[in-house]
Structure 1
Amino acid sequence: MSKTNALLKWTGAAAASGIATVALISFYEPLYSLTFKIGFFLFILLTLLFYQKLGRTKRFPITLQKANRKWTLPFVLLFPMILMASSAADQSHIETNIMVGVIYLLAYGTYVFLTLSLMEYIAGIDPKGRTSRFSLLFYIGIPFAAWMLYFIAFFPATMTPDSLSQWGQAHSFEWSNWHPLVHTWVMTVLVQIWDSPGVMSLFQIAVLSVVWGSGMKAIEKRGVSYIGLTLFTIIVAAWPVLGIYSISLWKDVLYSTVLFLFSILMFKIVFSKGTWLHRKRNLFLLFLTSLAVAFFRHNGFPVFLFMGVVLLIVFRKEWKPLLLNFLAVVGIYLIVTGPIFSSLDVRSTETKEAVGIPTQQIANIVINGDLTAEQEDYVASIMPLEDWEKFYHPYKVDPIKFSGYFNDTVIGDDIGKFLSMWAGMVIRNPGLAIEAYLREASIVWQMHEPEPPGYTSNFVTYIYKNNDYGLVNKTIAPDLKTEMKEYLDNSETYFLTTIWRPASYFLAILFLTYTAFIKYGRRGTVWLIALPVLLSVGSVAATLPAQDFRYLFSNVPLALFLMVMVWIPREEKTEIHE
């Protein structure tokens, strides 16, 4: 390459980088000292990337090859739109409509280019390396040791009213299925060993560490270097969400862990083309994991049902063990939640827990919309009209549900009438219904936290005080407690959008799974790995009561797992499937 051509390419790369940098910065923030510093580093990176692409004849030889083009183009055109809608903050700094149009167009073009470039890079990753007989110890031991620091710092656990409710049942044996009863039974068994919340913390730390370790070992067996996987495991061990949640006594933690394990088992089935199912011990593990998914959270059973049907369709040759597993889990679930729950006089979940989204939509319509006389009378029978506005919070339904004026027996006595009235109100006020839903479900799809009263409830570092059971945190290592609290607070302050909003992981799952779909020869079965978590996200989005990260905790380990799954060489997948 002549000096003149090189200079022209560097000039072109710098010009394109400058335009892209200004567009991206302006899309999110006004230009000031901090954004200039960020912009400088972004300019350098984009210049190098643009120059690299200008210097090649085939700039995207994998993602845009003829066979992949019809799959890649729709994704790279749509995904940046979703990313921009999810990450956009207040844009009042963009003064005119013309500026809005120009900045949006240039930012969109930049994101399309970056999406293609990152997909191309991932598709070319091939970090082959040695395996190790002792690597599993590293994969399990590193996170276990790191998360034990949280156990020591916030001993014996962190607990909220939901946790305390289950703790009370574990000691009184007065059962309620408001929180999944089988999960409460696990706690009941563990406290017989050590009557302290610490036993549940240790159990969660151990299970999450073992599940992560098994996932890394499965990837290592597909040809990825154990050194790279060990280094990545150190990052995972330091991930603040995993650390504090490992000692948070919420049903969501154990459920998300077993759901992640279910995804790992899907990985093994997919990458072995179903032969993993030929061993009895593997089938037993699938059976136990399926039971845990079905029982540890109320939306787990529908997730299992859907996955069971899909597996029977996709892996038809292995229909016998899959059908046996499906029928066994369904049978046990029906027996436990039917006659066994009845014999134990288990209190069922209240109706209002299942109709959170419709309740929010009704509230928004009552306050701002148009109702018929019949709809108005019906809504008033549930709660006085003036109280709907008084207790309405656009990002959580709990203030209405627990206002003391909400009569959910009206709903429970005739759920059909409730749904009919709700549907009628939505049809008359579709814009308000969509607005209410997008706000209530913002934690699912929106990376950037909405302006107040929008919020994100991420974590606690204590047991709720003045509880009925005399449970308190005990300070074992004061300095460690201070440092860990500061570490968590800083991660939330500086990385709220990337680390502490579940939507960031959700978009990462979509991107990485699609990239794996292209990298490994457009094998649709790759989507089965992410499908359990995607189904869980969908079910949460339909019933979400508040902006609590924990409801979508399952996004986190799967997104991190997929980040290294795509390191598997392309040839490895091809050999297995061809």
Structure 2
Amino acid sequence: MNPSLRRNHPLPLVVQVAFFVCILAAFFIVLSEKDDPREALLQLRLDTDKEAIAQIFWRLDEQEYSQEQSRTFTLMPGFNTYRIVLPKRYDIARLRFDPATRSSRATLHEISLQWDGRVIFNLSGTALAHVLYAAGQVVIEPVAGADTVLLTSTGIDPSTEIDMAAVTRSFRFIQQLKVVAWALLPAALLTLGLCYLSSATYAAYAHRTYPKRPLHWFLWVAVFWVLGLYFYLVTPAVPPQSVAIPLYLAAWSIVVGGCLFIPAFWFVTRQYCAIWSEPPLRLQWLWFALPSLFVWSFYLVAMWPGSMSPDSHTQWQQMLEGQYTDWHPAFHTMTIWLLTRLWMSPAIVAVAQIISLALVAGWGLSVLQYHGVPRPVLWCTSFLFALIPVNGLMVVTLWKDVAYSCAMLALVICLFQVVMTKGEWLLHRLNWLALGIILALVCLYRHNGIGVGVATIIVLLVFFTRFWRGVSLAMLCAVMMYGGVKGPLYDVLEVGRSDPVAKVVKRIKKDLFVRSEQVPEMDVIEPQVKGDASVEDSPSLISKTAVERIHSASRLWRIQPLTEFHARIEYVNMWRKWNGNEYSIKYMSANDLGLDERSLIPSLLEEIDRVLDRSRSDNLLSWMWRPAVFLYALTGLLIMLSWRLRLRLYLLLVPLLANSLPYFLMVIHKSVFRYHYPLVVTGLLLIIPLLFLRPVEPESGLESYGEQCL
């Protein structure tokens, strides 16, 4: 126990109450309904004796009825249901129903109002008769023995009214009570968490990272408050018009900062007790890979013989003709050629992708088990990794990005082992040889992979200087393999050389700094956003294309969905082709190669399409398509673990950022999800296990010295 921690006192009651009230108010503001409903629908069930014109009027407090605030519709003879769309307002005070423009009789069976699908009132019979009152030239009579109301016109302009003010006030009051109830639970949990973490009991056995002075507490709070402000900017938070933006911003930052602060504080200040090193069972990596192999096989059966885009067809044609170009990495096209020696079908490539990603993930989970992650956690991660639709849809698509992501994931796992062993992993020959091969594959499977390889080698040489020999040998192995493929092999196969990176750099230079009058019309993408008109007339500015390029690529750091021009996002190669009111599911682009969709289980394909559509539209599921979620989770988790365990785990971010950050300038027309797939697949595999990572000591050491806690 740290003696300095014994002097900590529990959080004063006044502070506890103040914190609870503050966090409760913040949750109430954030969870409150928006100012107006997204949809307002009035439904009337009427039985009329003749055709007539009816009209619905509405007005707010202290307003008069007007034609501008009305809806006109035709009453048809007989019993009918009429649905009238009302303005999206919660503050409608009165409704007026003009049943006809001439004398007529109508039986009103029911009247109901819905806001966003929720029934606000549904009245019929006697209850309806008590609410309706005659505004002029109409007689209202409940029908004896029937749950209806008879409206009889006595003139040419009959009308009835309903007072909505009491109904809307009651509804809003009930909604606010529900919001308070929903806000009470998280506010109470956060308050209890803070009270426990600030108590003398917890401080007595906490790690030395526990704050010892008020200034330290202030720094903790300030950091997470700033994080709350930042996440307000990158999440879909839209304040109601009735709440001032500064107030909503403060509430949002308190809620997000508090929700992040409590678990992060516990994660950093708790003690980590070393455990015995438990070597994985033989072939444990294969067992961990089985869920993915099983689940992804169904994706392939449903999307047989695999999903292919125009890029895939280009590489397939090169493979058939034996004439390779390096615009799409020729090494990946050669891999396709090698696989098709076994079976001339796109399915063999999809099978290879399924096996590769599943085995790499299984190997990664077995490595995590060796470094102290409990086996049940790893099995949960294995099933999640297999079941999440992102992976299932990607592995059956013939894209170089899948092979590249497999190599990137393997590289991160190697880097993890280097960090956890403080570089000693590089002393073994097979390890540095494997690292060199993986680095070469990263460089060969995508052109920007060479930047990832260079960045990885640099950080290894800088932070693990003692093991420079292993790093140098791995680099030599990677250079020899990369040079052998790009040089002699490409020469023998007469690969058409092209440099996409150079063309991209040239395009960036053209787009970034250019006089506006010199930009051809076809090169300028007009954004659908409002701006200062003076910018349009400026003779020398950063071009619109560059702005659009960077904004589209901001998918890396934005959690909120992009809109308008920037919403042009390519998720996976699967879409719906509409023909009138019907559609067919497509996953293979048009081509002249004789390749088309041949789903072996069409019903399963329809289910996958529904899952894909829901995962992108449901706010509770769309996180899996947001690379920013994985970027922030990995960054925060690795920084905290690095600080707590005194290990350089933050280095795992280097290859991921070296891959994703350049797309801020390279993307132009749309945000392409597959560009950031290495970040997503790494996050899916590592985030949950890293929460349970524990320091590992040799078994003999623990027998000699007993349990050791850090």
TM-score (norm 2): 0.66
Q: Which has the higher mean CA deviation after the structures are superposed, 561-570 or 502-511?
A: 561-570
Which residue matches 1:489? 613
Q: Which amino acid counterpart does residue 258 of structure 2 have in structure 1?
A: F
Relative distance call for 1:498 and 1:46 in structure 2 (3 A) is farther
Relative distance call for 1:192 and 1:527 in structure 2 (3 A) is same
C-alpha contact 1:64 1:72 (8 A) present in aligned 2: no
Alignment of 1:56-455 (within 5 A): 56-58=197-199, 64-65=210-211, 76-89=224-237, 91=238, 93-94=240-241, 99-123=244-268, 124=270, 133=281, 135-338=284-487, 340-343=489-492, 344-350=494-500, 352-355=503-506, 357=508, 361=512, 371=515, 376-377=517-518, 379=519, 385-389=520-524, 392=526, 428-429=540-541, 435-455=547-567
C-alpha contact 1:142 1:234 (8 A) present in aligned 2: yes
Structure with the higher helix share, 1 or 2 = 1
Q: Which has the higher mean CA deviation after the structures are superposed, 279-288 or 67-76?
A: 67-76
Which residue matches 2:571? 458
Deviations 1:224-282 (A, max 9, x none): 21122102211221111111111111111110111011000000111011111122221
Alignment of 1:11-30 (within 5 A): 15-25=21-31
Relative distance call for 1:151 and 1:539 in structure 2 (3 A) is same
CA distance in 2 between counterparts of 1:231 and 1:52 reads: 26
Q: Which amino acid counterpart does residue 367 of structure 2 have in structure 1?
A: A
Establish whether residue 498 from structure 1 lines up as the match of residue 498 from structure 2.
no
Partner secondary structure for residue 328 of structure 2: coil
Alignment of 1:490-569 (within 5 A): 490-495=614-619, 497-521=622-646, 523=647, 525-545=648-668, 546-569=670-693
CA distance in 2 between counterparts of 1:512 and 1:573 reads: 22
Establish whether residue 44 from structure 1 lines up as the match of residue 185 from structure 2.
yes
Q: Which amino acid counterpart does residue 629 of structure 2 have in structure 1?
A: S
Which residue matches 2:59? none
Runs of 5+ in structure 2 lacking a partner? 1-10, 38-114, 117-174, 530-536, 575-585, 702-707
Partner secondary structure for residue 470 of structure 1: coil
Relative distance call for 1:386 and 1:533 in structure 2 (3 A) is closer
Q: Which has the higher mean CA deviation after the structures are superposed, 282-291 or 42-51?
A: 42-51
Partner secondary structure for residue 310 of structure 1: helix
CA distance in 2 between counterparts of 1:306 and 1:393 reads: 35
Fraction of identical pairs, as percent = 22
Q: Which amino acid counterpart does residue 145 of structure 1 have in structure 2?
A: F
Q: Which amino acid counterpart does residue 27 of structure 2 have in structure 1?
A: T
Q: Aligned-pair distance for 1:158? A: 0.8
CA distance in 1 between counterparts of 2:311 and 2:697 reads: 44
Deviations 1:156-196 (A, max 9, x none): 11111011111111111111111111111111100111111
* Bigger RCO (CA 8 Å, 6+ sep): 1
Q: Which has the higher mean CA deviation after the structures are superposed, 456-465 or 186-195?
A: 456-465
CA distance in 2 between counterparts of 1:151 and 1:563 reads: 27
C-alpha contact 2:360 2:410 (8 A) present in aligned 1: yes
C-alpha contact 1:126 1:569 (8 A) present in aligned 2: no
C-alpha contact 1:360 1:436 (8 A) present in aligned 2: no
Larger gyration radius, structure 1 or structure 2? 2
C-alpha contact 2:448 2:659 (8 A) present in aligned 1: yes
CA distance in 2 between counterparts of 1:512 and 1:427 reads: 46
Q: Which amino acid counterpart does residue 483 of structure 1 have in structure 2?
A: E
Q: Aligned-pair distance for 1:468? A: 1.5
Q: Aligned-pair distance for 1:464? A: 2.8
Structure with the higher strand share, 1 or 2 = 2
Q: Aligned-pair distance for 1:441? A: 1.5
Deviations 1:369-389 (A, max 9, x none): xx3xxx745x4xxxxx33345
C-alpha contact 2:615 2:622 (8 A) present in aligned 1: no
C-alpha contact 1:136 1:217 (8 A) present in aligned 2: yes
Runs of 5+ in structure 1 lacking a partner? 366-370, 380-384, 396-424
Q: Aligned-pair distance for 1:112? A: 2.2
Which residue matches 1:409? none
Relative distance call for 1:515 and 1:188 in structure 2 (3 A) is same
Deviations 1:255-313 (A, max 9, x none): 01110110000001110111111222212211211111111101101110121121012
Relative distance call for 1:237 and 1:9 in structure 2 (3 A) is farther
TM-score (norm 1): 0.80
Relative distance call for 1:426 and 1:509 in structure 2 (3 A) is farther
CA RMSD between the two structures: 3.7
Q: Which has the higher mean CA deviation after the structures are superposed, 435-444 or 143-152?
A: 435-444
CA distance in 2 between counterparts of 1:300 and 1:338 reads: 17
Relative distance call for 1:559 and 1:81 in structure 2 (3 A) is farther
CA distance in 2 between counterparts of 1:65 and 1:431 reads: 49
Q: Which has the higher mean CA deviation after the structures are superposed, 9-18 or 167-176?
A: 9-18
Q: Which has the higher mean CA deviation after the structures are superposed, 237-246 or 455-464?
A: 455-464
Q: Which amino acid counterpart does residue 304 of structure 2 have in structure 1?
A: F
Q: Aligned-pair distance for 1:9? A: 9.1
Which residue matches 1:417? none
